[in-house]
A = this chain, B = another copy of it.
Amino acid sequence: MNPAAANIEEAILSAILAGRIDPGTRLGEQKLADLFGVSRTRVREAMMRLETRGVVQVSARRGWYVVEPSAEEAREAFQTRRVIETGLLQAVRGVPPQVLASLKEHVAIEREAIQTGDVSSRACLLGDFHIHLADALGNRLLTEIIRDLTARTTLISMLYQPTEKAEESSHDHEDIVAAMEAGDLALAARLMDEHIGKVEAGLDLTARPDPLAGLRELLSPSTFAGNAPSVPHAHSHPHAHSPSGKPED
């Protein structure tokens, strides 16, 4: 794998995991090429790899876009995560002490980030818990799969999650680790199942998948004299800004 292309791939994926790139963000080849100081060829390579991993999509001759999973795709992603993560906890025989220690430490960091109100890192940390779990209990292959899936569910949360319940999630993580420490992996698996179920249930899958939804509601009851106002009906995020204030141009 190319170092440069791998960098782009990794950079984009981890930015998504950190919640620093919104779903629907347009990723122009030339812009990325300039940004990373490589040629379009490399960028395309990275994009195609990310497409295979289900993180971006290409719209013919319009550009690459961070995926905006549909409601069904969201359900699939959560079901898949449930299957794999509960499967992992149940397949494992025992949990080594050092794994427990590192997971506990991770939860502690989560809580700290929540208490200090560090919004930007907490989303990243909450997803990271699951990735760490896979890494500690499973293997590299499994970790990679979970990582890609977590990227998806992160994007899904950004699309459909009305209110973020960071505290609750972190508490769930704590309970799961506690069950693991008690040696009750079956309980840990059930808690994990419930945890992922809770996150999924917290979504409003009837909402967002198109950016005009909000507008439609807005002008559906009252105004209907003229037709739709001049709103760009493009692919949701016309100019790809970074929410965390990182300059991208």
Contact = CB atoms under 8 A, between A and B. Distances in A.
B76 A83 contact: no
B80 A141 contact: yes
A207 interface: no
Contacts of A49: 48-49, 51-52
Contacts of A87: 82-88, 90-91
B142 A83 contact: yes
Interface of A is mostly: helix
Contact of A142 (B58, B79, B88): B79
A88 B84 CA distance: 7
A128 interface: no
A139 interface: yes
A53 B75 CA distance: 23
B145 A76 contact: no
B48 A79 contact: no
A89 B73 CA distance: 21
A41 to B, nearest CB: 10
A87 to B, nearest CB: 2
A140 interface: yes
A29 interface: no
A146 to B, nearest CB: 10
Given A49-B52, A145-B145, A140 B76 contact: yes
A45 interface: yes
B45 A79 contact: no
Contacts of A141: 54, 73, 76-77, 80
A211 interface: no
A138 interface: yes
A193 B83 CA distance: 14
B48 A80 contact: no
Interface of A: 1, 45, 48-49, 51-54, 58, 73, 75-77, 79-80, 82-88, 90-91, 138-142, 145, 193
Q: Considering the complex of A and B, which 4 residue pairs feature the smallest CB-CB distances, nearest first?
A: A87-B87, A76-B139, A83-B87, A52-B52
